[in-house]
Amino acid sequence: MMFRHHGSSLAYSPNFQRLYTARFVPLFLHVVLLIIILVFRNDLIPSCGDSSSNSSRDKCVWSDAWTGTSLGLVAIEMILSLSGLSIFRSYAVFFSIVFHSAASVLLSAYFMSDMSINTGLPYLLFFCTFLPLIVEIISWIELFAFNKKV
């Protein structure tokens, strides 16, 4: 079996197993918040309910594009992490927890404040959605291309 020797003694510790399962809580919360943004965009972005001007339509298109891209990237990361190949990569688990927790807190702050969600979506997309996916892909490359043990 190819993956037999890719584990470490850290992976069998109860603390790491709890950490790995805790990875999916902020990941699922991030997905739920992104779906809520897509579904209730007319209420969250005041200019989206108003189709009178071109600038309001442009804001809605960009908001949908950023949110849809974020949702797609989080879904890809979820599929990659559920495959189980990055279980023993503690750095991938740690980055996923930190960045998706930050995304969930920031999206919740947008819900509670009067600030337009369009102002921070590009930064939120890059720092809280794209970086954890890159770390997940790096762990896959490390596993397959370099055949590196933990």
Residue 17 has pLDDT above 50, yes or no: yes
- How do the domains of the chain map onto residue ranges? 13-41+51-144
Residue 1: which pLDDT band, with cuts at 50, 70 and 90? very low
Rounded mean pLDDT, 1-26 = 61
For 117-136, what is each residue's pLDDT tens digit? 666 767 777 788 888 888 88
CA angle (26 as vertex; 60, 64 as ends), nearest 5:
10
* Residue corresponding to tokens 């023993």: 88
Backbone phi, psi, residue 140, to 5°: -70, -45
Residue 58 has pLDDT above 60, yes or no: yes
Model pLDDT, residue 2: 44
Rounded mean pLDDT, 105-111 = 80
In this structure, are residues 107 and 40 in contact, taking their beta carbons and an 8 Å threshold?
Answer: no
For 38-56, what is each residue's pLDDT tens digit? 888 777 666 565 556 666 6
Q: Which residues have C-beta within 8 Å of that of residue 43, sequence separation ≥ 6?
A: 49
